[in-house]
Structure 1
Amino acid sequence: MAVGTVLLTALLALLGYLFLKLRSTMRYWQELGIPCEEPHIIMGSMKGVRTKRSFNEIWMSHYKKFRGTGPFAGFYWFRRPAVFVLEPSLAKQILIKDFNKFTDRGFFHNTEDDPLSGQLFLLDGHKWKSMRNKLSSTFTSGKMKYMFPTVIKVGHEFTDVFGQYVEKSPVIEVRELLARFTTDVIGTCAFGIECSSLKDPEAEFRVMGRRSITEQRLSAVGIGFVNSFPNLARRLHMKMTAEPIEKFFMRIVRETVAFREQNNIRRNDFMDQLIDLKNKPLMMSESGENVNLTIEQIAAQAFVFFAAGFETSSTTMGFALYELAQNQDIQARVREEVLEVCEKYKGDFTYESVQELVYLNQVISETLRLYTVLPVLNRECLEDFVVPDNPKYVIKKGMPIIIPAGAMHRDERLYPNPATFNPDNFSPDRVKERDSVEWLPFGDGPRNCIGMRFGQMQTRIGLALLIKDFRFSVCEQTMIPMQYDKEMFLISSKSGIYLKVERV
């Protein structure tokens, strides 16, 4: 009996200690007197995510509640105390001025067990720097010119298919069609494969592309665990990528690389450049590391180029059409510019002519402000950092950092009438006056989006071809105001974007 009492007492003491330990972690900001919300004991400040609240709702509400209280507010990234940036000046310190102290994103990745997580977006430290250097030459303006004809070719097929849908019904759900266009563009450029998703919405690439964005291997609690305890999760061999998606993309990459190498095929596309990095004469870094890419590394980079590229560009185009349908004067001005440039270049687009679509580019930039597809930028602190002129505000080593770009883009202190769609926000004069960190859809500094040029190119081409031939307006099925998908980390409409479409 005495032994049982001792064991029970020990168990209760252990449970009490664990509870106090858990609780003390979630009192970090309160004890420092830094403004923050009372966190959930497991989910932290992410309580209700993907069920009651979308990711973006969390960022927006936290920003609105605490802006003006200091350079940052306290936040709990699940069970980890985190920094929620409130001022552009601090964002600039983190992204540009003191970048070397904040190079990492701090997202979970496990390259040993989950090869597709070895993508540039997720890598940290030396691995990120090495991969960024290897890939930097693949997205130059010269490489964009090589891929431009491929994008134009798919674009013309896209407008043909789009026209067939218009003939059947004047009301079109544009989001899915746009995703099929960008799937075919990036599938061709990244894998050299005719995806045919424009002709067949259930084509394998389109289905797997859709699943790569929506399908989660882990539950919300599982995601919370790997983000709270990333090192332990790696020791437990936990993976983020769903098994069917991993198998599909690894198979496609292996087959594509083998076919091109065996048949000496070159297409001047992204895959060619990755293969070159695999096959160049064996090189070693100063630290003795093999700098050539492995087949797993090729697959990871091709996967992120595909998964991120088709979704972000198609989403941006969908929201642009949504706003143009509600602002007919802006749409007419875009169409006038497109027709003038087409006439100047004898009826079709060239790489140079697309650069002349200045007002269309303003429309795209304003769309990205109002609908920031990636609404937050994540970083992790590599050494203790005292915010300049704010000694009370210290970012400790290892802390996650959240820069709520989408919320900042809707701040009236930065953009007058922020809820109004106004492409003049991005006139050349206003852009010159604005600090670069006040517009962050592609990030800023050395770790900005490496595929920015490609994304902008395919978005301009897709919109220019559509606006040239079709007029968009709202209909009874158009969702006004916009409602967002609660489960997506990226910004996405809840149930598609329905618009009335007619030929010009």
Structure 2
Amino acid sequence: MSKPLLLIVEPELIKNVLSRDFPYFTSHGMHVDEEKDPISGNLFSLDGEKWKNMRIKLTPTFTSGKIKMMYNGILTCGEPMVDHVKNIATQGQPMNAKEVLACFTTDVIGSSAFGIDCNSFKDPDADFRKYGRKLFEITWKAAFARFLGIIIPRFRRLGIEQDVQQFFVDSFTKIVELRESGNFKRNDFVQLMLDINQKAEATGSKDGLKLGQMLAQSVMFFGAGFETSSTTMTFCLHELAHNIAIQQRLREEINATMQKYDGKLTYDAIIEMKYLNMVLDETLRKYPPASMISRVCTKDYEIEGTGVTIETGTEVFVSILGLHRDPEYFPDPEKFDPERFSHENKSNIRSFTYLPFGEGPRICIGLRFGVIQAKVGLCLLLKNFIFTPHESMKYNMEIHKNSQILSFQEDLLLNVKKVS
């Protein structure tokens, strides 16, 4: 409206804003009111020292070792998905990829973040699936709040409906009370946060997390984890259905690698799959879940060698989708080509032109978990099924114009055939 916004496109300047000169651009410009809106106190929304302290506390919970502890839980959530798709294939019906993968990620995140068995495939209207949908539903109220929040930041908190917020508050409170009242433990995000508190209590430090803070991080983990991973896998299956040779090569790698691990999809097997990495990297290039990064300048910053000053309070944007589809950095950008990310070619990608998870100190803290979740889902599906485009679907599908996470406007229908 009446205030300036800066869109930066030069990779070197992007590097300065996101990483080298990060102290000038620490804020996302979100309004936080932890009393009236507990969920707003999540890591993504926090700024300054509050963000720094929370990041330090949470970083150890997202290490490779901690993700490995959660791995079997992720794998278990894939079993009902495979059974569900087998039924679809047997009946000769098209698979709604978007819905199937959203059910899978809801089960994974519900289990990993809250320690809850959501059973989304048995009960698509279960509470966590229902409120997971509503968390990203584009209602007129959410759209208006987002528009109003550009002008008056404190109105951004209206984006989450009250019943959605209350559901997560009530659910999380019960879960924590259950954990604290007995000896029940589970390898999930809730337990990792409770362990932080136990350690703080044992050492007499003030590094523990309050109930509201734990709630905020869990809801952030749930929302970010289930929607971004499900849409990424949806986009990936869309491309693989239209690129059968790539799909078959990836299936061969999955089968060959699993054979080395006694036919099991182990954590180590997943990590070893190089072509899977390439396919997923290319999916994230063409379809980055967050199409844009925003930062707010927190103190006057002079752009080196220009004499131009970015004033305090100015919002700075980086178009991830713009970078990823720029032919200067990625020739023939509309083509789905995993070879861009081969060992030989990956080093040629210019720094700070590939940013699917952001970059710098505020890079997505849960990226390892999101990637593992997507790899497990794709491996389970591709090992068991062959996907081809449904006749009603076209290759260049329309992108949803109002979604916070990049996604197709319509459901993605795919033909499914069991691997013989």
Relative to the length of structure 2, the TM-score reads: 0.96
Distance between the aligned counterparts of 1:220 and 1:311, measured in 2?
A: 18
2:277 is aligned with 1:361: yes
1:250 corresponds to: 169
Q: 1:492 aligns with which of 407, 412, 418?
A: 407
Choose the corresponding residue for 2:112, options 166, 171, 189.
189
Moved over 4 A (4+): 282-285
Letter in 1 for 2:248: A
State the one-letter code of the partner of 2:370. G
CA contact (8 A) 1:113 1:239 kept: no
8 A Cα contact 2:200 2:207, kept in partner: no
| Equivalent residue, structure 1, for 2:182 | 263
CA distance in 1, matches of 2:67, 2:114: 16
Q: Distance in 1 between matches of 2:211 and 2:142?
A: 29
State the match for 1:385 in structure 2.
301
Cα contact 1:83–1:401 (8 A) shared by 2: yes
Shift of 1:226: 2.7
One-letter amino acid matched to 1:411: D
- State the partner residue of 1:276: 195
1:403-435 CA-to-partner distances (Å, cap 9, x unmatched) read: 001111000000010010000111122222323
Q: 1:284 to 1:132 in 2, by over 3 A?
A: farther
Deviations 1:12-47 (A, max 9, x none): xxxxxxxxxxxxxxxxxxxxxxxxxxxxxxxx3xxx
Give distance in 2, aligned partners of 1:464 and 1:402: 35
Kept after mapping to 1: 8 A contact 2:230/2:374: yes
2:266 is equivalent to residue 350 of structure 1: yes
For 1:30-69, what aligned pairs fall within 5 Å after superposition? 44=1
| Partners of 1:119 and 1:304 within 8 A in 2 | yes
Q: Which runs of 5+ in 2 are unaligned?
A: none
SS of residue paired to 1:280: helix
Aligned AA (2:388): S
- The RMSD of aligned alpha carbons is 1.7
Deviation at 1:478, TM superposition (A): 1.5
Identity of counterpart residues, as a percentage?
39
Q: Displacement, 1:215?
A: 5.0
2:387 to 472, 481, 492: 472
Give the deviation of 1:280 after TM superposition.
3.4
Question: CA 1:119 to 1:365, structure 2 compared with 1: closer, same or farther past 3 Å?
Answer: same
Provide the residue aligned with 2:52 in structure 1: 129
Q: 1:309 aligns with which of 186, 207, 225?
A: 225
Q: 1:167 aligns with which of 90, 105, 116?
A: 90
Q: Which amino acid aligns with 1:245?
A: V
1:295 aligns with 2:211: yes
Residues 316-335 of structure 1: pairs in structure 2 closer than 5 A? 316-335=232-251
Q: State the Cα distance separating 1:389 from its structure 2 match.
A: 2.1
Larger radius of gyration: 1
CA distance in 1, matches of 2:370, 2:276: 14
C-alpha distance 222-184 of structure 1, shift in aligned 2 (>3 A): closer
Name the SS for the 2:136 alignment partner. Answer: helix
Which residue number in structure 2 is paired with residue 120 of structure 1?
43
Q: Displacement of 1:388 after TM fit? A: 1.8
Aligned length: 418
Aligned to 1:304, the other structure's residue is in SS state helix
Question: Residue 267 of structure 1 aligns to which amino acid in structure 2?
Answer: R
Partners of 1:115 and 1:444 in 2: CA distance: 27
1:499 and 1:219 map into 2 onto residues whose CA distance is 31
Alpha-carbon deviation of 1:219?
Answer: 5.1
Are the equivalent residues in 1 in contact too, given 2:242–2:395 (CA < 8 A)?
no
Name the aligned partner's letter for residue 320 of structure 2: A
Partner of 2:135: 212
Q: Which runs of 5+ in 1 are unaligned?
A: 1-43, 45-78
The answer to whether the 8 Å contact 2:138/2:403 transfers is: no
Task: Kindly indicate whether structure 1 or structure 2 has the higher relative contact order, using CA contacts under 8 Å at least 6 residues apart.
Answer: 2
Shift, 1:402, TM fit: 0.7
Shift of 1:216: 4.8
- Of 12, 15, 19, 1:92 maps to 15
One-letter amino acid of the structure 1 residue matched with residue 301 of structure 2: F
Residue 230 of structure 1: CA displacement?
2.6
Code of the aligned partner of 1:420 = K
Q: Following TM superposition, by how much is the alpha carbon of 1:265 offset from its aligned partner in structure 2, in angstroms?
A: 1.2
Aligned to 2:347: 432
The Cα of 1:224 is off from its aligned counterpart by 2.9
